[in-house]
């Protein structure tokens, strides 16, 4: 058994174990390995066989199918891999399963190289900078050379290249430089296999010839004309059967060549082609023949136009399909991401609710331990009342928000109706102001008879309804009584207010004392500070005020989910329910 090359074995191991983005740079090492062996020797064949057996050529093909703009090294790396793939395939004789190599692997390699050539051609046409254009043109030339090298080593691939749709798309271009390179590839195909045009199907043959004739008729560039003329001459020389096709299918070709391309610098090849065409055509040229030639020319131009139009739409359709696929995939990814975020938020909310509930129960148990047994029922009633109020507040807020969302459309319609009515009123007001004012007409005067009758009615009414009169002494007495009652009311209200303040102060003092007694340590543990607390009235008040201040600060630092029910409350205002729990026993200045 032959010993495998250790370099290839190590490279295959690295490619298998490496990341996807590092594989192209590793495969470039094959170039040094191939150039290290002498051309045509058994060592080089053995290296190519090992490269194929280790599936390194398959890796090269997979890399060529990727987006080359994202490869490490970019297009230069892809072009070098294409050159490596071509050199590895030429001179390789597969002994195990040769049918797969010749019928599947080689056609796939040709297809990948042509696709790479199409991408480079498109980039070359779109690029504006001269330096980038030169780079893409050089890379395009290298890829075409790799294709020529490949079908030069395997002659049966010449027909495969011609029948490939990508080759026809490369040929159908208005760019001069890339078109000349593609026509040189076609010339190389004819040199390698002169009968290849007879092996392909008729539709492909007609498409190639139509494009060559179209280039001769649609341009005046001598470079394109020289390349197309040489190609047609090669077709006529290598395939004698196709000369009859050229003369029958393109009746005006001879006139076109002689009138448009004579004296352009390639008269020798042009004259040879015209001689071959004239040999196949009779001398008689009547009116019907000229009409037939014109019809053939129109048809050729029309077919070329239709073919280019159809091929130009193909990349757009593929691009639209890819765009829609990427948009759908992006939408699905966004949906999955949002779903995961919602689930995480829901789980976090559940954990926070459980933690808050546990803390609430722990605090409630601690309060129950501290509170005297006689006040447990009262404390539980207060807690139930506060809980009920909180639930009712949240429910009213939710119901009001839902009602607002339901009435939003009607509110919008109402506002629109108000705006329309306001505009209509303004319009009518302006219109009314524009009307000319009629001359003022004063009221008609009363006659003497009407004036006497009206005076008689007034006197009769006064007699029937005499006015009540009060003496001055009675008015003063009534005023004095009203003043006395007002003074009594003010004095009584002031006394009641002072009594209420005194009761509130005494009640707050009792509550403070009760709380101090409940929180006071035992006699065995008491100190002088505890004595000062009971002896001074300001120390407990200050301590309670500090505790209330801390409670208000804590409320301002609450997380957002604890403030969901307080949309109407301002940021710097603490709810009364939260303050009552902490301030109900504070004694400040005689008030609760």
Q: What is the mean pLDDT of the chain?
A: 80
Mean pLDDT across the stretch 19-36? 75
- Range list of H helices, 371-471: 376-406, 408-434, 448-464
Which one, of 167, 159, 199, 166, lies nearest residue 184 by Cα? Answer: 167
What pLDDT does 574 receive?
A: 43
SS3 for 201?
coil
CA 90 to chain centre: 47
Which one, of 547, 544, 546, lies nearest residue 509 by Cα? Answer: 544
What pLDDT does 571 receive?
A: 41
Mean pLDDT across the stretch 189-195? 83
What pLDDT does 591 receive?
A: 36
Contact 90, 149 (CB under 8 A): yes
Contact 179, 171 (CB under 8 A): yes
What pLDDT does 563 receive?
A: 65
State the CB neighbour count (10 A cutoff) for residue 264.
Answer: 15
Phi-psi region of 265 (alpha: psi -120 to 50; beta: other; left: phi over 0): left
- Tokens 């047994």 label which residue? 373
Length of the chain: 592
User: What is the Cα–Cα distance from 143 to 529, expressed in whole angstroms?
Assistant: 96
What pLDDT does 341 receive?
A: 93
Does 20 or 116 have the greater pLDDT score? 116
* Partners of 588 in the β-ladder: 591
Query: CB burial class (10 A; 0-12, 13-18, 19+) of residue 414?
Result: exposed
What pLDDT does 190 receive?
A: 85
User: What is the Cα–Cα distance from 218 to 472, expressed in whole angstroms?
Assistant: 126
Which one, of 50, 68, 153, lies nearest residue 110 by Cα? Answer: 153
Which one, of 472, 489, 589, lies nearest residue 541 by Cα? Answer: 589
Buried residues in 47-57 as b, exposed as e (16+ CB within 10 A): bbbbbbebebb
Extract the tokens encoding 282. Answer: 């009779």
User: What is the Cα–Cα distance from 230 to 23, expressed in whole angstroms?
Assistant: 43
* Partners of 591 in the β-ladder: 588
Which one, of 31, 103, 16, lies nearest residue 62 by Cα? Answer: 16
Interval 328-360: pLDDT, tens: 999 999 999 999 999 999 999 999 999 988 998
Rounded (10°) CA dihedral 517, 520, 526, 527: -100
Interval 207-227: pLDDT, tens: 888 888 888 888 888 888 888
User: What is the Cα–Cα distance from 390 to 565, expressed in whole angstroms?
Assistant: 8
Model confidence pTM above 0.85: no
Contact 354, 373 (CB under 8 A): no
Query: pLDDT class for 4, splitting at 50, 70, 90?
Result: low
Interval 114-163: pLDDT, tens: 888 888 888 888 888 888 888 888 888 888 888 888 888 888 888 888 88
User: What is the Cα–Cα distance from 63 to 82, expressed in whole angstroms?
Assistant: 10
Extract the tokens encoding 590. Answer: 């005689």
Which region among 1-5, 392-396, 419-423 has the lowest average model confidence (pLDDT)?
A: 1-5
φ, ψ of residue 588 to 5 degrees: the values are -130, 110
User: What is the Cα–Cα distance from 535 to 249, expressed in whole angstroms?
Assistant: 125
């Amino acid at each position: 058994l032959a010993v495998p090359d250790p370099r290839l074995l190590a490279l295959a191991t690295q490619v298998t174990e490496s990341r996807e983005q590092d594989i192209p740079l590793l495969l470039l090492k094959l170039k040094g390995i191939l150039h290290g062996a002498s051309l045509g020797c058994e060592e080089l064949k053995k290296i190519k066989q090992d490269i194929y057996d280790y599936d390194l050529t398959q890796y090269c093909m997979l890399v060529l199918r990727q987006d080359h703009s994202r490869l490490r090294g970019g297009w230069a790396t892809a072009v070098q891999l294409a050159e490596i793939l071509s050199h590895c395939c030429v001179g390789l004789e597969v002994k195990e399963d040769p049918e797969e190599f010749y019928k599947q692997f080689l056609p796939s390699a040709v297809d990948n190289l042509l696709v790479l050539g199409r991408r480079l051609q498109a980039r070359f046409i779109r690029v504006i900078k001269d330096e980038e254009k030169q780079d893409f043109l050089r890379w395009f030339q290298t890829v075409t050379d790799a294709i020529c090298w490949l079908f030069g080593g395997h002659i049966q691939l010449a027909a495969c290249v011609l029948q490939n749709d990508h080759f026809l798309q490369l040929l159908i271009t208005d760019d001069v430089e890339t078109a000349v390179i593609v026509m040189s590839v076609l010339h190389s195909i004819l040199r390698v296999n002169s009968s290849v045009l007879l092996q392909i199907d008729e539709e492909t043959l007609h498409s190639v010839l139509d494009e060559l004739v179209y280039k001769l008729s649609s341009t005046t560039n001598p470079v394109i004309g020289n390349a197309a003329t040489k190609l047609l001459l090669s077709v006529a020389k290598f395939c004698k059967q196709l000369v009859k096709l050229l003369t029958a299918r393109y009746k005006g070709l001879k006139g076109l060549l002689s009138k448009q391309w004579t004296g352009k610098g390639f008269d020798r090849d042009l004259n040879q082609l015209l001689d071959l065409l004239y040999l196949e055509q009779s001398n008689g040229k009547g009116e019907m023949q000229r009409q037939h030639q014109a019809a053939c020319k129109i048809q050729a131009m029309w077919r070329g136009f239709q073919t280019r139009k159809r091929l130009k739409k193909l990349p757009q359709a593929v691009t639209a399909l890819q765009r829609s696929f990427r948009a759908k995939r992006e939408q699905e990814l966004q949906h999955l991401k949002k779903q995961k975020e919602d689930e995480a938020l829901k789980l976090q909310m559940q954990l926070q609710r459980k933690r808050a509930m546990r803390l609430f129960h722990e605090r409630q148990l601690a309060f129950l331990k501290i509170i005297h047994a006689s006040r447990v029922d009262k404390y539980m009633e207060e807690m139930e009342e506060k809980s009920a109020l909180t639930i009712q507040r949240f429910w009213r807020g939710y119901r009001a928000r839902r009602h607002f969302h339901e009435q939003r459309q009607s509110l919008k319609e109402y506002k629109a109706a108000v705006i329309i009515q306001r505009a209509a009123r303004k319009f009518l007001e302006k219109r009314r102001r524009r009307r000319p004012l009629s001359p003022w007409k004063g009221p008609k005067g009363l006659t003497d008879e009407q004036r006497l009758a009206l005076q008689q009615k007034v006197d009769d009414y006064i007699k029937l309804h005499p006015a009540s009169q009060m003496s001055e002494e009675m008015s003063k007495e009534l005023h004095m009584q009203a003043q006395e009652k007002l003074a009594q009311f003010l004095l009584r209200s002031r006394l009641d207010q002072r009594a209420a303040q005194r009761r509130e102060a005494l009640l707050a003092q009792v509550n403070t004392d009760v709380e101090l007694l409940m929180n006071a340590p035992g006699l065995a543990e008491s100190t002088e500070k505890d004595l000062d607390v009971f002896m001074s009235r300001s120390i407990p008040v200050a301590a309670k005020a500090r505790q209330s201040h801390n409670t208000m600060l804590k409320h301002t630092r609450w997380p957002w989910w604890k403030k969901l029910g307080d949309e109407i409350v301002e940021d710097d205002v603490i709810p009364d329910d939260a303050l009552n729990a902490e301030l109900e026993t504070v004694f400040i200045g005689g008030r609760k």
